[in-house]
A = this chain, B = another copy of it.
Amino acid sequence: MEDKFAELEDRLAEITDLSQVSALLGWDQQTYMPPAGVEGRGNHMATIDRILHLKRTSDELGQLLADLAPLVNEWPPDSVKTRLVKVTKREFEKRTKVPVEWVEEFARLTTLAEQAWEKARAEDKFANFQPYLERIVDMKRSYAGFFAPYEHVYDPLLDDFEPGTKTMEVKAIFEALRPQQVALIREILACPPIDDSFLHQHFDEQKQWDFGVQVITKFGFPWDRGRQDKSPHPFTSSFGVNDVRITTRLYPDHMESALFGTMHEAGHGLYDLGIHPAFARSLLGDASSLAIHESQSRMWENLVGRSRPFWKHFYPKLQETFPAQLGNVSLESFYKAVNKVQPSLIRVEADEATYNLHIMLRLGLEISLLEGSLLVSDLPEAWNSGMEEYLGIRPHNDTLGVLQDIHWSVGLMGYFSTYALGNLISLQLWERIRQDIPDLDEQIEAGEFRPLLEWLHENIHQHGSMFEPQELIARVTGSRINPDPYVRYLTEKYREIYGI
């Protein structure tokens, strides 16, 4: 039986290698590939992904899992071996339940849908994207059907990104959160707006880059095991525990983009870099879930990077970097500016206080679409009404509304909620960290991030996907995902900033 387990490890090592190779093809496409390379790259990816799919769903792997099943009960439930078999079985079953014909048809559909979405967005014509989205919703419903019976038709979709998490639980979390977050935003909007005009001067791009590098170097980003490049959309990609790459984008007149984007991606990167080296070629070497991943990026971006102690340390350095632009701006003015709350139409530009509402809108719409209680043809109106209800603003066209995000066009449904869940988790962890590191603020103010990073490595990162997300959070904080710490944080922080 040791042989069987060793064979499982060998097969998973090969699968992990191929999946990291696939990630490198994607990274290169987003960073350095010359534009005309796109067709060839499509072939490279299709070939690797086809081989990967065959290996992930092979009869031999299924037989190995069957052979190992009786043993799993004899091993300790938290042991690496038990967990590895469990995670492998879960993935194997998910992949083998979906007919290859569905996978191929969905790939063809979303290739066309993405093109249609790009065009529809550019021309502000939702009607041209509508038939594709209708087909995607239909196919997503069929997809859920492969996993029947389920509690809710949305569960199988959510489960792809948040293993073990149920739709009803997420809905309940968001229903508890929403009224409190809406009420807070109303309070804030009744106050005089914060002046952040000085953030929109000209900031030299190389100096922005260098400052971001300085910050994440202090965070502990290990440059011998990672790197940063430029790309149109920032992302993080891991090719194993010793090769993790982040990207950023620079706008000369919008310095927050690179500044907080770099910290955000570094948060993702530090997670991937903290996974136990023993999982380097194992399915346990992935993150627990997207929400856990997002909790790390949002923690470094917001709880660290938008905090007063952080700027007490870094603002003098930023002023030295940009004396003409910031020499006469006080720390307090700067701190408020980078925390300015202003409801806006575009999710990716949303501030900390309004961001979750964008997510809740999308989650509600996705669920309704899957349930069939909302028709795709009624989606733009539902979007616009939702924006008005949640944020008090209404898009005057669909490009700024329902067409803004790429996700649906590429077939991603069940994904959005992980962004907001990540915010909530980040605060649950943060409250726990404050107990374990009582002088956290003083450390941050001193530019000392090692104890924080070590805490995250120890409690979150190293485990990879040993534990499902809810289980991991419960192990660390004593409770499942819970919005209360986040509400407490937002309320306290923003009342102080706005003098409410």
Interface residues of A (CB under 8 A from B): 13-14, 17-18, 20-21, 24-25, 28, 32-37, 39-41, 43-44, 46-48, 51, 222-227, 229, 239-243, 245, 280-281
Residues of B within 8 A of A281 (CB): 43
**Do A40 and B240 contact each other (CB < 8 Å), given the known contacts A24-B24, A229-B32?**
yes
| Contact, CB under 8 Å: A34 / B280 | no
> Please, how many angstroms separate the alpha-carbon atoms of A223 and B227 in the complex?
24
> Please, how many angstroms separate the alpha-carbon atoms of A13 and B225 in the complex?
34
| Contact, CB under 8 Å: A36 / B227 | no
**Do A21 and B21 contact each other (CB < 8 Å), given the known contacts A34-B223, A37-B242?**
yes
| Contact, CB under 8 Å: A39 / B227 | no
**Do A17 and B239 contact each other (CB < 8 Å), given the known contacts A25-B24, A34-B227, A229-B32?**
no
A13 to B, closest residue via Cβ: B43
Please list the 4 inter-chain residue pairs (A to B) with the smallest Cβ-Cβ separation, ordered nearest first.
Answer: A37-B243, A40-B240, A17-B47, A36-B242
A258 nearest CB across to chain B (Å): 19
| Contact, CB under 8 Å: B240 / A34 | no
**Do A37 and B229 contact each other (CB < 8 Å), given the known contacts A14-B47, A43-B17, A44-B17?**
no
| Contact, CB under 8 Å: B17 / A243 | no
A240 to B, closest residue via Cβ: B40
> Please, how many angstroms separate the alpha-carbon atoms of A17 and B227 in the complex?
27
| Contact, CB under 8 Å: B28 / A225 | no
A27 to B, closest residue via Cβ: B28
| Contact, CB under 8 Å: B225 / A36 | yes
**Do A225 and B43 contact each other (CB < 8 Å), given the known contacts A21-B25, A48-B21, A51-B51?**
no
**Do A34 and B229 contact each other (CB < 8 Å), given the known contacts A25-B24, A242-B39?**
no
> Please, how many angstroms separate the alpha-carbon atoms of A245 and B41 in the complex?
14
A14, A40, A41, A225: which has the most chain B beta carbons within 10 Å?
A40
| Contact, CB under 8 Å: A243 / B47 | no
Residues of B within 8 A of A37 (CB): 225, 239-240, 242-243
Residues of B within 8 A of A229 (CB): 32
Residues of B within 8 A of A46 (CB): 17
Residues of B within 8 A of A225 (CB): 34, 36-37
> Please, how many angstroms separate the alpha-carbon atoms of A47 and B48 in the complex?
11
> Please, how many angstroms separate the alpha-carbon atoms of A18 and B49 in the complex?
11
Residues of B within 8 A of A241 (CB): 40
> Please, how many angstroms separate the alpha-carbon atoms of A176 and B33 in the complex?
45
A35 nearest CB across to chain B (Å): 5
> Please, how many angstroms separate the alpha-carbon atoms of A217 and B459 in the complex?
53
List 27 contacting pairs A-B, 8 Å CB cutoff, sorted by A.
A17-B44, A17-B47, A18-B48, A20-B44, A21-B48, A24-B25, A24-B44, A28-B28, A32-B229, A34-B224, A34-B225, A34-B227, A34-B242, A35-B224, A36-B222, A36-B224, A36-B225, A36-B243, A37-B225, A37-B239, A37-B240, A37-B242, A37-B243, A40-B241, A40-B242, A43-B281, A44-B239
Residues of B within 8 A of A40 (CB): 20, 239-243, 280
A242 nearest CB across to chain B (Å): 4
A444 nearest CB across to chain B (Å): 27
> Please, how many angstroms separate the alpha-carbon atoms of A241 and B41 in the complex?
11
| Contact, CB under 8 Å: A226 / B34 | yes
Residues of B within 8 A of A47 (CB): 13-14, 17-18, 21
> Please, how many angstroms separate the alpha-carbon atoms of A300 and B157 in the complex?
56
A20, A47, A229, A241: which has the most chain B beta carbons within 10 Å?
A47
> Please, how many angstroms separate the alpha-carbon atoms of A224 and B245 in the complex?
24
